[in-house]
Amino acid sequence: MTSTRLEAFSDGVIAIIITIMVLELRPPHITELAALRPLLPVFLSYAMSFVFVGIYWSNHHHLFQVVEHVNGGVLWANLYLLFWLSLIPFVTAWIGETHFAAWPVALYGAVLVMAAIAYTIMTRALLSIHAGDSVLATALGRDFKGKISITINVVAVPLAFVKPWISCAMYVVVAMIWLVPDRRIERTVVSTAE
Amino acid sequence: MTSTRLEAFSDGVIAIIITIMVLELRPPHITELAALRPLLPVFLSYAMSFVFVGIYWSNHHHLFQVVEHVNGGVLWANLYLLFWLSLIPFVTAWIGETHFAAWPVALYGAVLVMAAIAYTIMTRALLSIHAGDSVLATALGRDFKGKISITINVVAVPLAFVKPWISCAMYVVVAMIWLVPDRRIERTVVSTAE
Amino acid sequence: MTSTRLEAFSDGVIAIIITIMVLELRPPHITELAALRPLLPVFLSYAMSFVFVGIYWSNHHHLFQVVEHVNGGVLWANLYLLFWLSLIPFVTAWIGETHFAAWPVALYGAVLVMAAIAYTIMTRALLSIHAGDSVLATALGRDFKGKISITINVVAVPLAFVKPWISCAMYVVVAMIWLVPDRRIERTVVSTAE
Amino acid sequence: MTSTRLEAFSDGVIAIIITIMVLELRPPHITELAALRPLLPVFLSYAMSFVFVGIYWSNHHHLFQVVEHVNGGVLWANLYLLFWLSLIPFVTAWIGETHFAAWPVALYGAVLVMAAIAYTIMTRALLSIHAGDSVLATALGRDFKGKISITINVVAVPLAFVKPWISCAMYVVVAMIWLVPDRRIERTVVSTAE
């Protein structure tokens, strides 16, 4: 079973997730620039979530470059990942609406953790149907970035009740780690091609 | 006529159906965790529908792996299926809004039954343009899972007026039956490849 | 220039158009079945538009099966078609909201006429870059169905001010004409393949 | 790394952006034609933005015809472009809501400028991984159209505070420049194929 449709369907869902978040940016009825100030937290939460969803798309893209085949289990692991990603617009809107209050920021982090776990489950499901010396297995390696980012996010969630901005800063750090796209895969593809 | 665009279009429609349901989860204006409690039935109905739409996508995916060609009749049978699936967000929202009341739960089941019938019609349309010994015909076989799940859902609809949770439990049983992806097809593909 | 992306993009836009119309079906707050009665015109207008948009997708699909290449002019003719199709959710919602009143029904027909003209323009743009004896040119022929359906719709628009249901009946007649998918193309493909 | 998924994902996001703008066209509750008059600015701003987003899609399509491969940097340059395009529905709605007032029209132009810069960044990212004598490099050339249109839009932004229609006229001029699709690429492809 090839991954063509899994990729196309995921692209569709992620494209919609990333786009409907902008619907929270309701145009003000007033024509002054000051009318946009209350929209600033909404805009910031949108930009933050855009980056996170973009990271998932980029990693998903890199990952499936080296996937040789999928099965029913992978389809469902992928759907489980999409389920958690689909909750990002909701927590983003709650953050924007409440101007980065403690509970919304904590819940945001919890959704990020669940999505990261779902991503890990999906890579496990893929590894279980690929040989130990496949490009996929070599490229994923010990998954250091995956483990460190889940750890940071797990720690960030309770810190929202100390100061929400601390959690947000930690989410941004995780984003930084990933903004460098998964070089493991690019590197492995190149080295195995040599 | 190949099924490439039929699959791409269906992926698009299903991706949108599965994603717009989350728009019902409106962020509360209050920042307390208790503000999320009224959203619980909305969340549960979303999760349930996500699984059902996911099952249709997964089965659709499996089915079209063994489809050799399509015709105008199949295009319309598929559109008819998508029409009923497109009503799932509406009945899901009604269930969430009314906290799983009798009529909404019954209507939800009725839409599931109509979608299942539409799926059966589509498989018939496909069988009529494939040879009796094609992989498709062998894989579909007697369609036991299709028949049993329509039967369970037909029984579940009136039971909503006894207790809505009985119907919901039966919908979940049907989901269980399908969560195991259509092994018939995976098995047949493997055995015919041997 | 191949038509792959033109088809993928059109599939995406049409999938969204066909799906967002269902958002007009707002779930009632009441749990009784009677609460659905006011939604009946909304549902009917949705079903009617679903069929029309489905016809455009099906014809688009058939047409591009025999397209050999596209150019910038075809891209824009296609975008112009998508523009008019994108107005269908608006006129559909107006019809549903006003329970099939005269002006909304007339405007609905006008949008259908504009979409049909845009489709004709697109086929002209395609013919201008295909040989006179290409499969496309043979398949399109004299475009009898296209001409008759534009004529019926043009007549139907003013009749909305006599009785809106007359116009609607005529729109349905046009749908009937097209529900039989464009056999010209299927037939031509088969005969040229022989 | 091929650009297949980058193109599919961009098609999805752009299809959604172009389609959700029409959701601002809310159907009036009154059945008279006069009820549509207040919707005229909303419709005009929709049509204008449809053309701009269409131009980006058409240019994106032309550009990726000659792209040979992509890397992580191009993925993110493309996401950055999509981010700015995703703000077009917001500024379009603000323009429509405020009937082309000064600040909204200026902000609209600013978003166009940012999108144009993002597009330029993406072409740079592509050039950096293609040979100097590649079809891509030859086709892009000195990018005269890109530079002139950014210049016009930068000048148009402050002019919104003189008269908003002056800015709009200048945006339309830029659209005119691009409506002629990127012949550079079509021409280069033809000439290198010879």
Q: Which of A8, A86, A98 sits opposite B22 (nearest CB)?
A: A86
B-interface mutation test, from C26, C61, C62, C92, most B Cβ less than 10 A away: C61
Q: CB distance B13–C19 less than 8 Å? A: yes
| Nearest alpha-carbon partner for A100 in A165, A154, A148, A24 | A165
Is A76 an 8 Å CB contact of chain B?
Answer: yes
Q: Would an 8 Å CB–CB cutoff place C16 in contact with chain B?
A: yes
> B48, B168 in Cβ contact below 8 A?
yes
Whether B12 sits inside 8 A of A17 (CB atoms) is: no
Confidence tier at C139 by pLDDT (50, 70, 90): confident
SS3 of D121, please?
helix
Tens digit of each residue's pLDDT (9 = 90 or more) over B136-190: 888 887 788 888 999 999 999 999 999 999 999 999 999 998 886 555 566 666 5
- In angstroms, the CA A145 to CA A165 distance is 23
Per-residue pLDDT at B192 exceeds 70: no
Calculate mean pLDDT across residues D40-49: 94
pLDDT tier for residue A189 given thresholds of 50, 70 and 90? low
Q: Does D62 touch chain C (CB under 8 A)?
A: yes
Contacts of D96 in chain A (CB under 8 A): 27
**Which residues of B fall within a CB distance of 8 Å from C29?**
97-98
Mean pLDDT, chain B, rounded, equals 90
Q: Sort C23 into a burial class: Cβ within 10 Å, 0-12 / 13-18 / 19+.
A: middle
- The pLDDT value given to residue A141: 78
Question: Which residues have C-beta within 8 Å of that of residue C7, sequence separation ≥ 6?
Answer: B5, B8, C60, C64
Residue with tokens 């659209």: D175
Of residues A189 and D107, which shows the higher confidence score? Answer: D107
Task: Supply the pLDDT for residue B185.
Answer: 61
| Inter-chain CB proximity A61 and D76 less than 8 Å | no
Q: Does B47 touch chain A (CB under 8 A)?
A: yes
Q: pLDDT band at D141, cuts 50/70/90?
A: confident
Least confidently predicted of A122-126, A139-143, B170-174: A139-143
Higher pLDDT, C144 or A129: A129
At residue A183, the pLDDT reads: 57
How many CB atoms neighbour CB D153 within 10 A?
A: 23
3 state SS for C10-57: HHHHHHHHHHHHHHHCCCCCCCCHHHHHHHHHHHHHHHHHHHHHHHHH
pLDDT digits (tens, 9 = 90+) for B69-88: 999 899 999 999 999 999 99
Nearest CA to A166 out of A179, A177, A154, A157 is that of A157
Q: How far apart are CA B49 and CA B51, in angstroms?
A: 5
* C99 at B interface, C-beta within 8 A: no
Chain A neighbours, 3+ Cβ pairs < 8 A: B, D
Encode burial over D2-36: b for 16+ CB neighbours within 10 A, e otherwise: ebebbbbbbbbbbbbbbbbbbbbbebbeebeeebb
Place of tokens 């959704």: A111
What is the helix (H) or strand (E) element at residue B123, kind and residue range? helix B102-127
Reported as a single tens digit per residue, the pLDDT across A107-121 is 999 999 999 999 999
Q: What is the ipTM score, two decimals?
A: 0.90
How far apart are alpha carbons D72 and A58 in whole angstroms? Answer: 8
